[in-house]
Structure 1
Amino acid sequence: MLALRSFSRALPRSLSKSSMRCSQRPISTVHRSSLLQHPWKVASRPTYAAFSTSRSAREQEGEVDQELSAKIESELRIEKDIRDSEQYPSNVQEYLDNSPFELHDTPGQEEVVLTRQYGDETIRLTFSIADLNNMDQDPDQLSEDQALEDDFGDDHPADTQSGGAQTKGAINQGRTKGGNINVAPEDRIAPADREELADDESPSGEEGAEEPSFPTRINVTIQKPGKGCMQVETLATDGMIQIDNVYYYQNAELADAQTADLNWSKRNVYAGPPFGNLDEDLQVLVERYLDERGINTSLALFVPDYVDLKEQREYLSWLSSRPPSHLM
């Protein structure tokens, strides 16, 4: 019993002495003890040497900023001098004044829309300045390529003459068994280079020479209430409307599919054969059908002119209100 009592008395004294020893330890010793460190202590952030030793990375202005800004200002002045008026050119204004179509042009958008009512039909034409921006060749090169395709096309054999013996300007190269004059493709002369055709196919002098227009796609949709929609893909080129394809959709929403589901449904619908595969009389009637609705030569002349005008306006707007001008 005494031994237990002595032990209980000695225990508090020993604890107090040990606590005093701990309190008398140097602070540096406590810090060096890994057992007393908090596990959530924030680690010090490492420092790295700067990537560039010559200049700070926080430059206020780049070396090319001023030069680029001056170039943009120069482009703005040039474009404003070219387009000195907000009014339409006379040919564009004349078409808009006399055309049954209503123009819908949203600044900043590539697509332009023309709409009109024809009886109970709603007609919508769309074209885009992307056709001008995406041109890979100039019109002269396109014309030369088309001429070569006409001369060396696969549909005409090399040893016969497509137009027969009476073709104007043909060069005699002997006769075939059928009596027609044989014209070799490599010996044909372009009409513009033939003296006998100069008066017939081109105006005298350079006053009548006009710069050829670029081809522009025009998508035509004609919709009747409850009767579906017809969609016609056309090309305005050299003052003519060329029909590429004619489609018909019972669901009018498929003609101008705006969602992924409608676009997927449109792919699986048989909309009709290529226009060139139709009967020739049917092709002529479709052309007359469009002509009655104002899709004609006047439209084919207007669209390329308006595309060129809109592209200039959008470029000027881009220079004045888009980066990099806003960043400087």
Structure 2
Amino acid sequence: MLSLRTFARSVPRTLSRSIATTSRSSFLSVPKNGFLQASLKQATRPSYAAFSTSSVFRQSPAEGDIELVAKLEDELKHEKASGLEDLETSVQNIQYVLQNNSWEVKDVPGEQEVVLTKKFGKEEIRLTFTVADLQNLSEQEDFDDSAFADEMDFQGHQPANQGRGAPGAVAQHPEDRIAPADREMDDLDRDMEPSFPARVNITIEKPGNGSLLIQTVAQDGLFQIEEVSYFSKPDLAHAQTAEQDWARQSLYAGPPFENLDEDLQTFLERYLEERGINAELANMIPDYIQVKEQKEYVRWLENVKNFVAA
């Protein structure tokens, strides 16, 4: 693929060089006549002047700027009018959980990461999650939809009542054979879609005793533990720099959680619940991500509009 692009790009340059060489040789063969040289100079001057004074490319960006700003303003009005209203239930859930628990929130406008912290005895507990999970989910859904469509095309999916059977036979899709009552229940199940998975990193630090890093996924009211790691140096659990991340990767991180003894898994899950890392919080975090993503999108629209209009 790269060689084709290289060849395609080299053809115009080679062709132009050959044309230029032919042109130069033909001009060199013409006798040096003063009148002819003056005519050639006069003939070539207007082409340079017309190219350099053209105003088309200077005017079109300004017209495009006006249309872009108008579109951004329309999008802003729409998002401000209905954006958070559609997430009213999520906002109420967030407020309830934060008001009835001791979590402190670090949410910096313009940043993707959100941090929840609290004290539990002498322990410092820290949860981090990011808006990027919602964006990554949208990309995955687009990929899944495309893959499903390709699969249906490959299987020769036909419109209803267009079969290849015997004359007079009527082809049916599987959904055509579902009773109306069952179809209503199926539609209801589709409406009750599960929440999206949100990755949550939990660090629990004890002074002078290092820290635990518990990597989880919050979804449908559950914290699904994936891995539990111990670090003697607490800063490695956070890994804010590339050096710290590199040092952490060189250490033994522990086995996958699902490979642990079932009783040990149960006790670790209870360990988190006793520290307020429970179903209530697992339901709130995906809501928080959706609300923050909406706010960040509105802020992004405002910043882009102000930049283009400046």
Question: Aligned residue for 1:256?
Answer: 238
Cα distance in 2 for partners of 1:51, 1:310 equals 50
Q: Does 1:214 align with 2:216?
A: no
Cα distance in 1 for partners of 2:50, 2:277 equals 66
User: Given the alignment, which residue of 69, 90, 100 partners 1:98?
Assistant: 100
| Secondary structure in 2 matching 1:63 | helix
Cα distance in 1 for partners of 2:98, 2:265 equals 29
8 Å CA contact 2:65–2:308 kept in 1: the answer is no
Q: Does 1:243 align with 2:245?
A: no
Whose relative contact order is higher, 1 or 2, with alpha carbons under 8 Å and at least 6 apart?
Answer: 2
Give the AA of the match of 1:293.
R
Cα distance in 1 for partners of 2:241, 2:107 equals 23
TM-superposed deviation, 1:52: 5.6
Q: Tell me, which stretches of 5 or more residues in structure 2 are unaligned?
A: 1-47, 149-176
Percent sequence identity is 47
Question: Aligned residue for 1:68?
Answer: 68
8 Å CA contact 1:239–1:301 kept in 2: the answer is yes
Q: Does 1:313 align with 2:289?
A: no
Cα distance in 2 for partners of 1:221, 1:59 equals 56
TM-superposed deviation, 1:209: 5.0
Question: Aligned residue for 1:293?
Answer: 275
8 Å CA contact 2:113–2:131 kept in 1: the answer is yes
Inter-CA distance 115–75: structure 2 relative to 1 (3 Å threshold): same
Question: Aligned residue for 1:280?
Answer: 262
Q: Tell me, which stretches of 5 or more residues in structure 1 are unaligned?
A: 1-47, 146-192
| Secondary structure in 2 matching 1:62 | helix
8 Å CA contact 1:218–1:234 kept in 2: the answer is yes
Which structure carries more helix by proportion? 2
| Secondary structure in 2 matching 1:79 | helix
User: Given the alignment, which residue of 292, 299, 306 partners 1:325?
Assistant: 306
Max radius of gyration: which structure? 1
Runs of 4+ in structure 1 deviating by more than 6 angstroms, as ranges, are: 84-88, 202-205
TM-superposed deviation, 1:89: 2.2
TM-superposed deviation, 1:102: 1.2
8 Å CA contact 2:196–2:286 kept in 1: the answer is yes
Aligned-residue RMSD, C-alpha? 3.3
Question: Aligned residue for 1:112?
Answer: 114
Cα distance in 1 for partners of 2:257, 2:246 equals 23
Question: Aligned residue for 2:21?
Answer: none
TM-score when normalising by structure 1: 0.61
TM-score when normalising by structure 2: 0.64
Cα distance in 2 for partners of 1:207, 1:194 equals 15
